[in-house]
């Protein structure tokens, strides 16, 4: 397909659950670089909601209907469960369409490498929606690290934890490990990616997983990962949907100071509440949730950077027009998948 010279970039969003409805459709619709032309969902209630929210979009129920329209599209965004990603992405690539795949990228690194190869052969762009690289707290931590205020960092702790004993109410509760299910695949794709972005490649890894949810045949509902980076930093990562009390989102120890941040980024609930990314309050953390920097007895709050999920699509538009790099090189998610596979092999 090559580069796209003219705006807008004609886009289809596949799936209208949390991924498609909360993240992709609002971000695409809010960007002048894209047009939201097609939404794919087989569920009547979701189809009705999609039609109400995006009357300019054509709502279809199947992949066959989507690909029948491929001549009128430039980009396909997959917000479907991970076991569908390879087949759907491969079909889009075969039709010369650029592809965004939600994380987890695919169930295995071998499938991911195959998709990258096919995209290269077809001359189309393939990227992965690692949106947590644009969380307010992550951007703030990057700034703190760059300032040198922590000194030499030795230990990084990161958590995604909730209290949801009833489960998440979607594919995360039931999809098997072989299909890319489980907390380690799902949230580990974010936490491991963030750790590698901050501290570089992994030299050794170790992990623990368990299923304590209501579906005994599903994959893990909680996981712990320890990474030793080549830089010497040790990352300790927790993912848990059964946490009655949650730990700090970030806890970073250095030779001069520490940084601790509580609470999750607010962009997901803002988008779920239909706040447009153009709203002046979008992406802002309240002062009460700002992280603390210093040592015990002498700390100060660090003003939070603005969360910026729209940056993913801004960078993607530039890349599709030949004016920049992809927002997420798929080599990064492939590295994360290999870490996850190594942990599962030892667990």
Q: What gap in Å lies between CA 59 and CA 65, rounded to an integer?
A: 10
pLDDT of 208-237, one tens digit each? 988 876 666 667 788 999 999 999 999 999
Q: What gap in Å lies between CA 182 and CA 63, rounded to an integer?
A: 25
* Integer Rg of the chain from CA: 20
**216: region left, alpha or beta (phi > 0 left; psi from -120 to 50 alpha):** alpha
Tokens of 230: 């080549």
User: What is residue 210's predicted lDDT score, i.e. its pLDDT?
Assistant: 84
Q: What is the DSSP letter of 242?
A: B
Contact 63, 88 (CB under 8 A): yes
Question: Tokens 């109400």, residue?
Answer: 52
pTM comes to 0.94
Q: What gap in Å lies between CA 235 and CA 221, rounded to an integer?
A: 20
Q: What gap in Å lies between CA 229 and CA 204, rounded to an integer?
A: 7
Q: What gap in Å lies between CA 311 and CA 148, rounded to an integer?
A: 25
In the chain, the domains with their CATH numbers are 9-131+311-324 (3.40.50.720), 132-308+338-346 (3.30.360.10)
Tokens of 244: 């009655």
Q: What gap in Å lies between CA 79 and CA 18, rounded to an integer?
A: 8
CA-to-CA dists, residue 72 to 31, 69, 75, 187, angstroms:
19, 6, 10, 34
Angle, alpha carbons 223-227-229 (nearest 5°): 160
The alpha helices in the chain, defined as continuous H runs, are 25-30, 44-53, 63-67, 85-94, 109-122, 136-147, 183-186, 188-199, 267-272, 310-320, 331-346
Angle, alpha carbons 42-266-240 (nearest 5°): 75
Write the DSSP string, 163-214: B-TT--SSGGGT--GGGT-SHHHHTHHHHHHHHHHHH--EEEEEEEEE--SS
Q: What gap in Å lies between CA 138 and CA 160, rounded to an integer?
A: 13
Length of the chain as a residue count: 347
Tokens of 223: 């996981």
Contact 263, 109 (CB under 8 A): no
CA-to-CA dists, residue 203 to 80, 118, 158, 226, 236, angstroms:
32, 29, 18, 11, 14
Q: What is the pLDDT along the chain (347 residues), one digit of tens a residue?
A: 567 766 799 999 999 999 999 999 999 999 999 999 999 999 999 999 999 999 999 999 999 999 999 999 999 999 999 999 999 999 999 999 999 999 999 999 999 999 999 999 999 999 999 999 999 999 999 999 999 999 999 999 999 998 887 777 666 767 777 777 788 998 999 999 999 999 999 999 999 988 876 666 667 788 999 999 999 999 999 999 888 999 999 999 999 999 999 999 999 999 999 999 999 999 999 999 999 999 999 999 999 999 999 999 999 999 999 999 999 999 999 999 999 999 988 76
Contact 291, 250 (CB under 8 A): yes
Contact 222, 210 (CB under 8 A): yes
pLDDT of 252-305, one tens digit each? 999 999 999 999 999 999 999 999 999 999 999 999 999 999 999 999 999 999
Cis peptide before 8 (omega within 30 of 0): yes
Among 107, 142, 135, smallest CA distance to 334 is for 107
């Amino acid at each position: 397909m090559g580069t796209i010279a003219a705006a807008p970039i004609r886009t289809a969003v596949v799936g209208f659950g949390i991924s498609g409805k909360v993240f992709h459709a609002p971000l695409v619709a809010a960007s002048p670089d894209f047009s939201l032309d097609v939404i794919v969902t087989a569920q009547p209630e979701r189809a009705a909601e999609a039609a109400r929210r995006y009357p300019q979009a054509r709502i279809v129920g199947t992949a066959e209907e989507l690909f029948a329209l491929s001549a009128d599209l430039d980009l396909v965004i997959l917000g479907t469960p991970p076991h569908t990603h390879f087949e759907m992405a491969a079909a889009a690539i075969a039709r010369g369409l650029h592809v965004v795949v939600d994380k987890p990228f695919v169930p295995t690194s071998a499938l991911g490498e195959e998709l990258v190869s096919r995209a290269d052969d077809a001359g189309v762009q393939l990227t992965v929606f690692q949106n947590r690289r644009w969380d307010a707290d992550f951007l703030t931590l990057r700034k703190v690290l760059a300032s040198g205020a922590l000194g030499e960092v030795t230990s990084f702790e990161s958590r995604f934890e909730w209290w949801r004993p009833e489960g998440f109410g979607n594919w995360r509760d039931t999809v098997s490990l072989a299909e890319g299910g489980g907390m380690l695949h799902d949230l580990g794709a974010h936490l491991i990616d963030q750790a590698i972005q901050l501290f570089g490649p992994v030299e050794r890894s170790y992990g623990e997983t368990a299923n304590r949810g209501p579906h005994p045949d599903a994959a893990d509902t909680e996981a712990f990962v320890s990474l030793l980076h080549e830089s010497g930093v040790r990352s300790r990562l927790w993912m848990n949907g059964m946490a009655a009390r949650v730990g700090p989102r970030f806890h970073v120890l250095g030779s001069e100071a520490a940084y601790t941040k509580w609470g999750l980024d607010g962009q997901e609930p803002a988008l779920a509440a239909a706040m447009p990314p153009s709203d002046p309050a979008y992406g802002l953390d309240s002062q009460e949730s700002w992280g603390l920097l210093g040592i015990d007895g002498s700390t100060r709050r660090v003003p939070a950077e603005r969360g910026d999920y729209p940056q993913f699509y801004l960078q993607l538009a530039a890349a599709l027009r030949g004016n920049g790099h992809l927002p997420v090189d798929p080599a990064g998610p492939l590295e994360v998948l290999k870490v996850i596979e190594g942990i599962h092999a030892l667990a």
